[in-house]
Each structure stands twice: as structure tokens, then as C-alpha cells.
Chain A
Amino acid sequence: MARKESKVGGVQRLKASLQWLIAVAALSSSWQALADWSALNMTRGVTAISREVYDLHMLIFTICVVIGVLVFGVMIWSMLVHRKSLGHKPATFSHSTKLEYAWTIIPIFILIGMAVPATSTLRDMYDASGADIDIEVRGYQWKWQYTYLSDDPNQEVKFISSLLTPPDEYYNRTPKRENYLSDVDNPLVIPINKRVRFLITSNDVIHSWWVPDFAVKKDAIPGFVHEAWAVVEEPGIYRGKCTELCGKDHGFMPIVVKAVEQAEYESWLAMKQQEALQVYETVGKTWTMAELMETGEQVYAQACQSCHQANGQGIPPAFPSLVGQGLAIGPIDAHIDIVVNGKAGSAMQAFAAQLNPAEIAAVVTYERNAWGNNVGDLVQPRAVNALISSKE
């Protein structure tokens, strides 16, 4: 330990020269990258934990650089000097017990020096004391669902958060805007300085919920609920990604967390609760075909299009076509059923968990009457609601 203390100055110098080296490399290949040092290193983040992790990262990184410089230094020196072309004669030693003990034992101490802070950081992360707010984070192919848990089910707020970037941008038909592939329609909103617990799970395959600014990365695994938490200190917008390969749109299900002051959070939550109530009312009324088709088209774009495609043709065999075949032109009850309950063992999800009855009614109606399907029938939200409640 004392040894380490006395090295700090050297470490600083080395760190500086390494940064300089990397900067030169950056310079030669890209001016833009140079302008932004954060484009090269880990996010420091906005929680006490994320900063601890960042410091730990810098510590182990520095140790590794020092080891690298020493070992490579010896090798390069040797390569420059101990050459046949310089007339260097080979020595005859082939072992040294002392040296061999030294380079077995010294690394063990260095490792202990790394393990101690690592262990304490990990213990901080695993601190399981209570939380001010519990949010269920549920992965779907290829979006996230957030549920603000509450003892009173009427107070529960639940919504889907999916990619905002339109296909035109990633297929290069329109220019890419700021936050390309990093924006969502409904960000997760949390208050600052509160302990927010994320209960992470999945509905289909394994996903992983990663927000670098919080140093939170936890796999969302079907059948498991894992926990992670964060106390965010600064208001802001924090962006994350899905980090476990989850199928075709793995790269297209970003995470956005908006951290706001407590008051703003409360009014946002109240607004969301109000919206949920309104949905209740719309389910009761009788919809016209035109209304259903209009809403249906929007819902289709948000919930169905990534698999069944905008033209309804799907990507067979994984994602079947809905045009002129199958349930979309068959009996309407079966059509409603597959949308409500999904199909086990396939990517077709049970949308009752994600869409409200009006949305389901609208999208079923839309599918039966779009792309020349023209079946002509429609379904009212009421009927869908009755079907869902009868199951419960």
C-alpha cells in the first residue's frame, strides 16, 4: 500500500502522457472526436454510485496502463538493444527462482489493491434498503413498458416507451436528426434525489436495461424480477440502450429517463393518472368505422409495424403476412383473441398488457380493412373490454 502511495505522482504523469498519446491518435484520424473527450471514455454519470464506478474504472485502467508501459517498455528496450545485428551475444540464463517468485507474488498484491475498492463499490450497489418509488421495467421485443407501482391499482400508471426515430432516418431517406436512435415517444420520468427502485423483467426474450449515467445495467429475463436502483442528483435527460441481443430490433429500443424536480414529477404523474381515467370513458362510447380506422392506423404503426411491416406483408416465416390470408380476413373473434392474448412460443405478444381496449379494437378493425383486406366488419372497444374482463 505504501508503495502505491509513493507512486501517485508517477501515475499522474503517466496518465497525462497517455492522454496525450491518445489525443495524438485522435488528432490524426478525426478532429471531431478530439473535440469531445467524453466520446472516448466511460460516462461519469449523475449518481453517487456511477461516480464511484467511474473512479474505480479510472483506477484499474491506470494500473493496467502502468503495468503495460513497464512490461512493453522492457520488451521494446530489449528488442532495440539485444539484437544480433548489433552484435549482442545471447546470455545463457534460463530461470531465476527469485524473479519467478517476485512476479507471481507482486501481482497478487496489485490484485488485492483492485479487489478492495471493487468489493466496497459492489456492496454499495447491492444495498437493498427500501425505496421511495417502485417502477416495473418490462422488456418487450422491441420496446420497454414502465409501470409505476402503487398499492391502489387505480393509481397505477403504465405506458409503453418506444423508438421515436422514424424508419426514413435509418434507411437514409431523410437526414438524421440530433438524438438519432436515442429518442423515445414516452420517456420514463423520475424525481431527483429520491431513491427509485427499478424492478426489471421481460415478457419474451432476454433484454438488458442500461442507463450509463446511473451505472445501472440489469438483464430483463422472463420469469425473473431483478432489482436495481438510483438516486439521481441532477435534473436532466439520460439516455440508455438495450444491451442484450433480443432479436431484429435490438438496436432500436433505446431508453430515455427524464429526471425532474419533485413538484414537476407529481404533476406529471397526476396528468398520467388523469389520462388513464379518460381511456376508461372512451372505451364506453360507440366508435364509428372512420374513428377506428384512424386510431387503428396509429396504433398499428406503434405496436405492430416493426414485425408485420407497414404494408402488412410481414417477414415470413417469423412474422406472417396479414394481407389476404389468415386471421386478418378470418373469423373476427379469433383475430381479437390473438391480439389480446398473443401466441405462445412466437414473437406475437399478448397486447392486452400494452394497449387499452379502444386501441385493440381500433387496430383489429384497421387490419381487417387496410391493404385491400376490406372485410368490412369492425369491433367496438366495449366488446374487447368484455373479453378481457371475462378472462380476469
Chain B
Amino acid sequence: MSAVIENHHDDHHHGPDKGLMRWVLTTNHKDIGTLYLWFSFAMFLTGGCMALVIRAELFQPGLQLVVPEFFNQMTTMHGLIMVFGAVMPAFVGLANWLVPMMIGAPDMALPRMNNYSFWILPFAFSMLLSTLFMEGGAPNFGWTFYAPLSTEYAPPSVTFFIFAVHLMGISSIMGSINVVVTILNLRAPGMRLMDMPLFVWTWLITAYLLIAVMPVLAGVVTMMLMDIHFGTAFFSAGGGGDPVLFQHVFWFFGHPEVYIMILPAFGIVSAIIPTFARKKLFGYDSMVYATASIAFLSFIVWAHHMFTVGMPIAGELYFMYATMLIAVPTGVKVFNWAATMWQGSMTFETPMLFAVAFVILFTIGGLSGLMLSIVPADFQYHDTYFVVAHFHYVLVPGSIFSIMAAAYYWLPKWTGNMYDETLGKTHFWLSFVGVNVTFFPQHFIGLAGMPRRYPDYALQFADWNMVSSVGAFIFGFSQLLFLFIVIKCIMGGKKATDEVWDGAEGLEWTIASPAPYHTFSTPPELPERSMA
């Protein structure tokens, strides 16, 4: 940001440019945050439609709507779009909006790069989505794209998939470098690391995880590219390669990746619960240490996704024990949230409803994760709907609920208007019911023996699949209500105060609502030490 403002340029610096070019050229963290969030929502609906195709097909036994080839494309694209297009960009969008405002910085440290990191994404996802119209169809080998199904046996569109993944990786790495540099350099004078809000902390750690593992993902897809087009045989047994190597490399990326999708959620919930309990966050220090331990452990547990590939027993035991250990810091977080609520003075506006639901439902996902880490039992759970239930519990009422909570919590700050509380609560209850009706029965379906990624199933799974599909449609359609609520809030509504919530703490609540285009051009005076 240019520090010196000449008089005749004044108007350019006080407000945004007009028209489309404002969005294309913007280097303003709030604009870019908004772009990320809308992009993510568009991908959420796109991936959601694919999920509904899947659930519609699974409503009854038999093939009614799609053929198996297309079903596999739907599961693959759904997973890829939700992970890389919906959840991750939403968190980056929130980081863009919030990190500078929370640490009292005027903008992200590298604004031009910020613009690039966003604008790569539409290209990446257009490329990925275009594969649906190619001969041979879209990628059909699952979001985990195990070789050799994704190499020797893949449809021709796999090459486009590889380049799309490369673009997403570049975008994520640039975005995370920006977050790290911003947090380490642009904090308001006097704000120590241990004074930072937890959202900033969790994002700092997430950004390091991203920088560490996105290159691994890039490496694995590049090896695939070489195998497919340049005659190498990294993953081809026939050529002396090793298909299991693929899985090790993939999950070395993949397991930290799942924590990339949950750590910022921890930060959001740690901001919201204290506000509506009107009580300080319990155990701030242990929250930070727990987050760091989870991040560390996430690098040394990857093969818990591979218990059935035939590892020697020493390997199985090591990965089992290491995975079980993650439950300890995860437990610390949950207990801290419960202790924050305890003896508070709670009210239940929409953000709080989503945050509390997050804690409870995420914990259910954590407990099923603990069950999955027990190797002999995992032999029965692995690649069944039990696993599907597990990761949807941590990702949908986990990550996605936290994003919804964040949207409701900070919308008044972003738009200057209060959202419609009644509609917000309706949206919450529909989502809450929908999510549980969809995913809870999947625990049973899985235990009873239905494998995942099946377009059709034996008759004994019919009842619960039907229930699950009904839930999915409830959940899916209630997201249109969310869209309506957000648009309504942007268009107008009760004016928000600067503080918005009576118990809210943090620098973002000290600036006007809506947040002016430029904030903290001069660093704020910190209130007397509040944290630690």
C-alpha cells in the first residue's frame, strides 16, 4: 500500500473503483476476501448438486438415473470440488477479510500476489469442470485418485485434472505465504504472538501446513503425469514401480490436508463461543499448544488411511498409536469449549447455534475417527460408509458449519446490516436436521457392510439409504435459504452497531460497521493486555 497519498488522487484511495475492473484488478483484502467467499459458495452449490445426483441414484437399489461410469465421475468431482473449491477457498476468504482486521494491519502483506492467488482459481476450476464434457468423461477415480486406476486406466481427461491440481496448489501456496508474512510482520505494535486471536493462530499454523504439503501433492500428480505421458513407471508394477508408493505420497499430503480444513474452524469457534457465552475463552494457551500439536501429529499418521494395504505389523501398530494420540489435543479443545460455555451467560443467535452444533457434531466425527484408528476394527470399517459418515461429520457439520457460523457472525461487520435472525435460525435448524438425517444412518450402513463408492447396493441397505437421501435433499435445498439471507443482508436491514455483539472482543469490532474500504492505515492502540 502506498503510504503517501497525493491530494488529486484522493478519491481513488478512499473507495473502490467502479465496475467489473474493480474486482479483476483489486488488491484490497476485503474485496479479495469477498471474491473468495462468493467463489467458494458457487463451488459449494456445484459440488452440492453432484452430491444430490449421487444421493438421488442411491435413493433406491437399482440404477435409475445414471450409469456407473458417470456415478464415479460424480463422486470424484464432488470430493475434489468440495475440498479444493468450497472449504479451502472459504477459509482463505475469511483469512483475507479477518486477519488484517484482527491484527490491526492495513491489508495483507503482499496485495498483488493476493489478487493472483484468487484469480488462478476460476481458471483451475473451469479446467476441472470442463473435463465433464470431454470424450471419456471427467476423472472417475475418486478424489484420492489411487494409481494405477488414475494413470494407466484413467480417462484422457486426467491430464487436465493434473494441471488443474497444479493451479490450485500454486494458488494455495501463494495464499498461505501471504498469510504467514502478514501475521509475522504486520501485527499492531505491541501485539505479541500469544495475544493474537485464535483464528489468527490457527490460520498461521494452517498456512505452514499448506506450504509444507501442497508441494507434495504437486509432486505426486507430476509423477502421474510422467507415468502417463513420458514413459516412467513410478506407480506401475509392470514397469517395476510401486502402486503403494502413490498412496504413501498422497496421504503424506492428504492427512495434513484434512487438518488444513479443520484448524481454521477451531479458530472461528473459539471466537464465537466466548462472545455468546459472555465469558473469556477457557484455556487460551492450551488451545494454541493443542493446535500446534495436532498440526505436528498430522504429519506422522498418514498411513492410517492405508491399514489394509498390507503393511508389516510394526507399521500398523506405529500408525495406530500415533493416530490415537491425536485424540488427546483434540479432546483438550473440545473440553476447553465446553468449559467456556460452562457458567457463562449464553444467548443463541445463529452464529452460536452453528458453533455449538459444530462442537457436538465434530466431536462425534472425532470419536468415530478414534474408532477408525483401531487397526483390527478398521479392517471392517475401511472403505465402507462408516468412513464416509466419519469424514462427513468432521467436514460438513465441522468445517462447513464453522464457515456458516463465521458468515453470520461477521456479516454485520462486512455489510453494516444485521441479517434476518429468524431466517438464520430456520436455516440452522434445517441444516442441522438435514446433516444428521443424511450422515448418521451412514454409520449403520457402513457397519452393516456397504462399501463406499458403490452406485448400487444389496437390498438390506435400502431403508437407511433412502433416509440418507431424504436428509441430503433437505440439507441441500436449505442452502438456498442461506443464499437468500446473505443477499437480503447485503441489500439492507437493521443497521449494525460497531460492536455488533455485546460480548465481542477483538480489534475488528473497534472499527465502523460496515468496515471502511481501508482500515488501520495507522496502527491501532491496543487495549490493555486482554489475553494470556
A125–B449 Cα distance when bound, in Å, is: 20
Chain A residue contacts of B347, Cβ below 8 A: 83-85
Number of A-B contacts (CB under 8 A): 295
Does chain A have a CB within 8 A of B493?
A: no
For A99, the chain B residues whose CB sits under 8 A away are 335, 339
Q: Please state if B308 and A217 are interface contacts (CB–CB under 8 Å).
A: yes
Task: Please report A residues at the B interface, Cβ cutoff 8 Å.
Answer: 25, 29-30, 32-33, 36, 38-43, 52-53, 56-57, 60-61, 64, 67-68, 71-72, 74-75, 78-79, 82-85, 88-96, 99-100, 103-104, 107-108, 111, 114-115, 118-119, 121-123, 125-126, 141, 169-172, 176, 178-182, 204-206, 208, 210, 212, 215-219, 221-224, 226-227, 241-252, 315-318, 344-347
Q: Measured between C-beta atoms, what is the minimum distance from A391 to chain B in Å?
A: 17
Known contacts: A95-B285, A114-B324, A245-B141. The answer to whether A215 contacts B376 by CB under 8 A is yes
Q: Please list 26 pairs of residues, one from A and one from B, whose beta carbons are closer than 8 Å in the complex, sorted by A's number.
A: A36-B460, A41-B447, A53-B380, A57-B377, A75-B341, A78-B338, A78-B344, A78-B346, A82-B277, A88-B343, A91-B343, A95-B283, A118-B375, A122-B316, A125-B379, A170-B63, A180-B459, A204-B148, A205-B149, A206-B243, A212-B449, A223-B241, A224-B237, A244-B146, A245-B142, A251-B454
User: Which of A72, A222, A315 interacts with B238 by CB under 8 Å?
Assistant: A222
A118 and B379 in contact, given A38-B448, A94-B281 (Cβ under 8 angstroms):
no
Residues in B with CB closer than 8 Å to A53 are: 376-377, 379-380
Give every chain B residue within 8 A of A249 (Cβ-Cβ): 68
Residue in chain B with minimal CB distance to A74: B338
Residue B320 lies at the interface, judged by CB distance under 8 Å to chain A: yes
Q: Are B148 and A122 in contact (CB under 8 A)?
A: no
* A122→B307 CA distance, assembly (Å): 11
C-alpha spacing A43/B140, complex, angstroms = 30
B299-327 near A? 1/0 per residue, CB < 8 Å: 00000000011100100110011001101
Whether A122 contacts B367 by the Cβ 8 Å rule is no
B464 at the interface (CB under 8 A from A): yes
The yes or no answer to B135 lying at the interface (CB within 8 A) is yes
Please name 18 further chain A to chain B contacts, defined as beta carbons within 8 Å, in addition to the given A30-B467, A250-B453, A251-B456, sorted by A numbering.
A29-B467, A40-B444, A53-B379, A53-B380, A72-B363, A82-B277, A90-B279, A90-B343, A90-B344, A118-B377, A119-B320, A172-B64, A176-B62, A181-B458, A206-B149, A219-B310, A223-B241, A248-B67
A80 to chain B, nearest CB (A): 10
Q: Are the CB atoms of A176 and B444 closer together than 8 Å?
A: no
Number of interface residues of B (CB under 8 A): 99
Partner of B383, one of A57, A103, A226, A243: A243
A333 to B26, CA, bound (A): 65
Also in contact, A180 and B61, with CB within 8 A (given A29-B467, A84-B345, A317-B135): yes
CA–CA, A71 to B282, complex, Å? 16
Question: B523 an interface residue at 8 Å Cβ cutoff?
Answer: no
Across the interface, B327 reaches (CB within 8 A) one of A56, A107, A224, A241, namely A107
Known A-B contacts A64-B370, A78-B341, A181-B456; the reply to A347 vs B308 at CB < 8 A is no
- Interface stretch of the complex, out of B150-158, B394-402, B512-520: B150-158
Task: Determine if B341 and A219 form an interchain contact, defined as CB atoms under 8 angstroms apart.
Answer: no
Instruction: Name the residue of chain A whose CB is nearest to the CB of B531.
Output: A94
Whole-angstrom distance from the CB of B58 to the nearest CB of chain A?
11
Q: Across the interface, do B377 and A60 meet the contact criterion of CB distance under 8 Å?
A: yes
Q: Within the complex, what minimum Cβ distance (angstroms) separates A336 from chain B?
A: 22
- Residues on A with beta carbons closer than 8 Å to the beta carbon of B69: 248, 315
Closest beta carbon of chain A to B405's beta carbon, Å: 16
Whether, in the assembled complex, B258 has its beta carbon less than 8 Å from a beta carbon of chain A, the answer is: no
B422-459 near A? 1/0 per residue, CB < 8 Å? 00000000000000000010001001110111111111
Q: Specify which chain A residues have a CB less than 8 angstroms from the CB of B325 in the assembled complex.
A: 111
CB pair B285 A68 closer than 8 Å: no
Contact yes or no, A79 B341, CB < 8 A: yes
A102 to chain B, nearest CB (A): 9
> In the assembly, what is the distance between CA of A67 and CA of B277, in Å?
23
B364 near A: Cβ within 8 Å?
Answer: yes
Which A residues are CB-close (under 8 A) to B280?
92, 94
Chain B residue numbers with a CB within 8 Å of A61 are: 371
Residue contact A217 to B380, C-beta cutoff 8 Å: yes
A141 to B140, CA, bound (A): 15
Q: A118-B376, A176-B61, A248-B69 are in contact. Are A88 and B463 (CB under 8 A)?
A: no
In the A-B complex, list the 4 residue pairs whose CB atoms are closest, starting with the nearest.
A223-B237, A226-B310, A91-B343, A251-B454
Q: Bound state CA distance, A303 and B523, in angstroms?
A: 73
Residues of chain B within 8 A (CB-CB) of A64 are 367-368, 370-371
Q: Of all chain A residues, which has the CB nearest B279?
A: A90
Contacting residues, chain B, for A88 (C-beta < 8 A):
343-346
